[in-house]
Amino acid sequence: MELYQGEAVRKTDNVKINYIMRQLTDNQFDEFKSFQHKIVAGLEDQVTLQPLTDEEIQYVLAEGGILIGVYVEEQLVAARALLFPGDDDENLGRDLGLSYEEQMKVVHQEISLVDSDYRGNGLQQTMAKVIMQELKFTNPFFEHVCCTVSPGNLPSMRDKFKQEMVVVEVKNKYGNMPRYIFYKPLKQKLFVDKDSYIFVRTDKTDRQKDFMAAGYVGVGISRTELGVWLAMARLKESV
């Protein structure tokens, strides 16, 4: 099913080309799996990205989520996935202390992949807007969106912050690797107290945990000569 059309510049020849964004079906299982393997294999630090397992891909394609792909001349060049965790042990609503009823309303933002030849075109953000709109129209039941991101994966962190998600927890996941847990309510807006900003380096996770225990959340990321910093602030009820 076609969801969106747009233009992107291909890096290898600097040519502007048209692309089509589609929702994938179980017929694209092998195609997506091969594309995911290609992207992960090309990463400098593979621990910063947790790929979907075969079982997760099959589950998403069997209506346990939404998987979209960007095609240029019928070639897959980008993809993004949502997963509905239900009562699975990995439901991030458990990490956030949500009730069982609210856990059933959680959706996970899973992997986002872009071919290196098409990076810099904002495809990650465009896919985020399209897939979240598709979720809103087809599955209005969900109320919470969550995801995990490695503190070393700056592009993914920026992607989440642009969607107005916030970091609410720092936990070890996927074989004891540190991960930020991002969260956003789907039916209300979060307001940041701009007078409460502090900055903590991303490698100081224990310090971040202390501030989160005191009511702070992560709201942005910045890089300076002294390192990469997580901007933290308190939330408030209204503007």
Residues 121 and 221 in one domain: no
Q: Which two tokens stand for residue 219?
A: 């709201």
The pLDDT value recorded for residue 99 is 97
Specify the pTM: 0.92
The pLDDT value recorded for residue 127 is 98
Residues 144 and 220 in one domain: no
**Domain total in the chain:** 2
The pLDDT value recorded for residue 239 is 63
The pLDDT value recorded for residue 201 is 95
Chunk the chain into consecutive blocks of 10 residues (it has 239) and report each block's average pLDDT, rounded to whole numbers: 95 96 96 96 81 96 97 97 96 96 98 95 96 94 96 92 97 88 96 96 94 97 93 89
Q: Which residues pair with 9 in a beta bridge?
A: 16
Residue 213 structural domain? 191-239
Distance CA 75, CA 130 (A): 19
Query: Which residues touch 175 (CB under 8 Å, ≥6 apart)?
Result: none
The pLDDT value recorded for residue 177 is 87
The pLDDT value recorded for residue 44 is 79
Residues 142 and 32 in one domain: yes
What is the three-class DSSP state of 37?
A: helix
Residues 15 and 129 in one domain: yes
The pLDDT value recorded for residue 207 is 96
Q: Please, what's the largest Cα pairwise distance for the chain?
A: 52
